[in-house]
Structure 1
Amino acid sequence: MPIDHQSGPGRQIVLCIAYTGTFYAGWQRQSNAITVQGTLEQALSQLLQEPVRVTGCSRTDAGVHARRHYSHFFTRSTLPADRLPYAISPFLPKDIVVLKAWDADGSFHARMQAQSKIYSYLIWNSSRPDPFWQQRSAFVPGLLDLSLMQQAARDLVGVHEFDSFCAAGSTAKTTSREILACSVDCPPTAHDLPPGFENAGLAADYGRLLRFVVHGSGFLYNMVRIMAGTLLYIGSGKLAPDSIPAIIAAKDRKRAGKTMPPQGLTLEYVRYADSRYADLALSGPQKELNNEL
């Protein structure tokens, strides 16, 4: 029998993993589909030679990615936690990586103790699709006004009842959520070569990547994807730039923009009050993302 994933004998270990969700039917274990949770549990069970059940911080949908996803499990194994990321690598596919593992005291809960989450949504805005971004972004042709999208994103910040940004099928008891920060920008891409190279400036003609980043205490079903779709409508002129407050007040899903496809969405980071369950040191793009917010 698997060790109970809420409490049990042995040690509690916390994992921080990254994955691309392109070829998975989401995070949550399913009996008839390949999922991130199921794949991770199988790898842990093979490595530790015992059945393992993992509890995750977020149940990402099919096709959605994660840069920092936290989970916990119990084990009787004596394998040092700091060796686990290396030891498990041969048992995992290349699109799932254990970045770090910690020993916990048995009281940690990856989902219940999460204070807030940061998501990003990427849009490839060009007249032509880009094969390098097709599994990590949504392709949107036509001109988008970045300044209008940036202006509108600020109206999402605050405590609101986000009924208009919640897809059908939600089981949430309340639609009230707090959005702590929002931003829309154009991050550099691999097409942006340094000045002096022959094809420097090609990206300006070829297309651009738009990034919507949102930091919130929690999110409703498809909430970030609907927010991204609403900002897209504002950027394309289908909605007025000052329409967000009225959309929120209406509490009507039909008033907001479309639900964007899953491949553009990434769970960037999850924040916990206890510093033991945060990365040793944020660096590079992730540190910059947190500084922006």
Structure 2
Amino acid sequence: MPEPAFNKQMLNQFSLTGRVAIVTGATGLLGKKHGEALAEAGASVVVADLNEATAQAFAAQLGDQHLGVALDVTNEASVQAVRDQVLARYGRIDILVNNAAMNEAVENPGMALDLTAFENFPVAQFRASLDVNVTGVFLCSQVFGSVMAQRGKGSIINIASTYGLVGPDQSIYRNDAGEQTFYKTAAYPATKGAVVNFTRFLASYWGHKGVRVNTLTPGGVENNQNETFVRNYSARTVLGRMAQPDEYQGAIVYLASDASSYMTGSNLVVDGGWTAI
């Protein structure tokens, strides 16, 4: 039996065929999944990360139409150089996923308890987080987004976090004996909260230019954390578990595609219900 025509029309709204997508921080855990999703939907993906060899290797895995480039999101000249490379290769920029970020991770053994405590957290590290997580989003949006604004169409997706909406629950970082082993620092919530409101600014600024700007707010992803942390985190969510790395792929394609054509300045929260309670 032939597929109903309206179903084909609806599904075609999710197609990214012929479009060019830049993903920053593209060789990280979620960056790779974002790139895979965009490529599967038909986009040519620019894999942008600090390590050029790693970026090129991942782009090659995606296929010949994709490009791996070195990018330092905190360096204006680096961002401009990538813009020029992309335009020389493809002649257009349609999608930007601002994914690159600094995040003090619980699974990192170097993040000692005394270092992550607010009273001791180094101001240099706070400033570094601001530079990557906020200034980096500003620079990439300014340089790549201006190309979209000139063309009259584009989609910018800023990756935030549940901790950009609510304060960290420090109790989930306690061990089975009830001892605090790690603190989520001030840097990540402060910078991700800034990303959420920067999205609103840019959406209102470029709306008349046809550039849509939205936030994707993911919850925690299971990634080799210790069993106690996974259990503590899972107990705080409505679904009773952490996310798997591929569970944000549908949201990325939706925000990048015409399926979300009337959506801008919004925050799509995909967190297993963490912020619902």
TM-score by length of 2: 0.28
Which structure is higher in RCO with an 8 Å CA cutoff and minimum separation 6?
A: 1
Task: Give 1 or 2: higher helix fraction.
Answer: 2
Task: Give 1 or 2: higher strand fraction.
Answer: 1
- For the pair shown, the structure with the greater C-alpha radius of gyration is 1
